Chains A and B, each alone.
Chain A
Amino acid sequence: GENVEQHPSTLSVQEGDSAVIKCTYSDSASNYFPWYKQELGKGPQLIIDIRSNVGEKKDQRIAVTLNKTAKHFSLHITETQPEDSAVYFCAASKNTDKLIFGTGTRLQVFP
């Protein structure tokens, strides 16, 4: 079955710097890759997703890139702000299968 690995487990950046979180997946048939943000005391919230027919997607300060050949995808956050501090999860699935989640990255943005 699918396996998703996520790195790093923790990431600290200075406000205004960029942050990059990377995930790899094992099943080459996977075709949907969402990212979730979990703030303290809340459930994870979908922030951006990408499908396998697209190599990159942007939404303001966040972007996701997908390399199908290497089977990895990344979340990029530019101009980080303290409110970006949270736990981020990547996930992968194919067709109607359930999502397989990575183990999460705790991002801390210091003022």
Chain B
Amino acid sequence: DVKVTQSSRYLVKRTGEKVFLECVQDMDHENMFWYRQDPGLGLRLIYFSYDVKMKEKGDIPEGYSVSREKKERFSLILESASTNQTSMYLCASSFGGPNYGYTFGSGTRLTVV
């Protein structure tokens, strides 16, 4: 089975800290995505990547950056965490090419205090 692994299930960080969320997939997928999920707002795309060292902004990139140095790993970085970044963060991956569904990780619930 395709597996997308997010390094932490729960995280608590302080305001102003630099936060790294890690995501690794094991099926040689070209595409990787970071979403945040908040009640009533569904899944909002933060950043995505179609290839190594490539990144594209999603709908809500402000306050975030990403890194993709290897095909299997896609990191989300909160440069200076703020309380409004408290959320569930979901990583996903898919094959390149047309019309492939995404495989999601189990999520990281981040609380910024």
Contact = CB atoms under 8 A, between A and B. Distances in A.
A61 interface: no
Q: How large is the interface on B (under 10, 10 to 19, 20 to 34, 35 or more residues)?
A: 20 to 34
A89 B104 CA distance: 13
B60 interface: no
Interface string B82-113: 00000000101000111101111111000000
Interface in A27-54: 31-32, 34, 36, 41-46, 49, 51
B43 A89 contact: yes
B51 to A, nearest CB: 12
A31 B99 contact: yes
Contacts of B97: 96
A76 B87 CA distance: 30
A36 B98 CA distance: 18
Contacts of B103: 46
A31 B66 CA distance: 29
Q: Which of A43, A45, A51, A98 has the most CB of B within 10 A?
A: A43
A110 B66 CA distance: 42
Q: Do most interface residues of chain A lie in helix, strand or loop, or is the interface mixed?
A: loop
Size bracket of the A interface: 20 to 34
A49 B101 CA distance: 8
A43 B106 contact: yes
A44 B106 CA distance: 8
A43 B105 CA distance: 6
Given A49-B101, A102-B42, A42 B96 contact: no
A103 B35 CA distance: 13
Contacts of A46: 101-103
Interface of B: 4, 31, 33, 40-43, 45, 48, 58, 90, 92, 96-99, 101-107
Interface of A: 6, 9, 31-32, 34, 36, 41-46, 49, 51, 89, 93, 95-96, 98-99, 101-104
